[in-house]
């Protein structure tokens, strides 16, 4: 599995909160590295906020 997919998987698991055992979470983050995790988390948060803003825009009917 590529490093980017590992980072995405680790970030999504951490957002959901279902990471399993602590040792598993530590091994996932150790294999990827800190900088890619921060980058993927930042992009994921931006996409989430943009999606919520778009949904609010559609719901408001403007």
Q: Report pLDDT digits (tens) over 11-62.
A: 888 777 765 666 677 777 778 888 888 999 999 999 999 999 999 999 998 6
DSSP secondary structure letters along 1-62: --HHHHHHHHHHHHHHT---SHHHHHHHHHHH-HHHHHHHHHHHHHHHHHHHHHHHHHHHT-
pLDDT of residue 20: 63
State the total domains in the chain.
1
Give residue 22's domain range: 3-60
């Amino acid at each position: 599995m590529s490093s980017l997919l590992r980072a995405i998987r680790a970030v999504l698991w951490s957002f959901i909160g279902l990471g399993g055992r602590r040792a598993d979470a530590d091994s996932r983050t150790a294999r990827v590295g800190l900088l890619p995790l921060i980058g993927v988390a930042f992009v994921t948060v931006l996409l989430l906020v943009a999606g919520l803003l778009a949904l609010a825009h559609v719901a408001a009917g403007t």
